[in-house]
Amino acid sequence: MDPVAGHIPGAENRFWGDATDGSGRLLSDEALAVHWGELLEAEQLVGYCGSGVSACINLFTLARLGRGDAQLYAGSWSDWCSYLPADD
C-alpha cells in the first residue's frame, strides 16, 4: 500500500478499463483513437499506474495505434511517491 494517493504532476489520466467494452474486450482501433485523442500526437508518451501492471494495457492499445514508442514507468506511482517529502 502506498503511503499517499495522488498522481504525477502533468500526467493525464486514461483509465485502462475505458479501452475495453463491457465484456473486457479491447475497443476497435477507431474507438481507441477517440479514447486517446490528441495524446496520440504527443512527442513522448509514458504510461504508469499504481505499480506498473495495468498501465501495460494502455501501452498495448497505443502500440496497436502505431505508438509502439510509448514507454512504461515501471515503478509507477509507488516509486514516484517514495521520493515525496514525508509529512511531519
Q: Which residues are identified as catalytic?
A: 49
H-helix or E-strand spanning residue 32 = helix 29-36
C-alpha to C-alpha distance for 47 and 73, rounded to whole angstroms: 6
Q: Which helix (H) or strand (E) holds 4?
A: none
Contact 76, 49 (CB under 8 A): yes
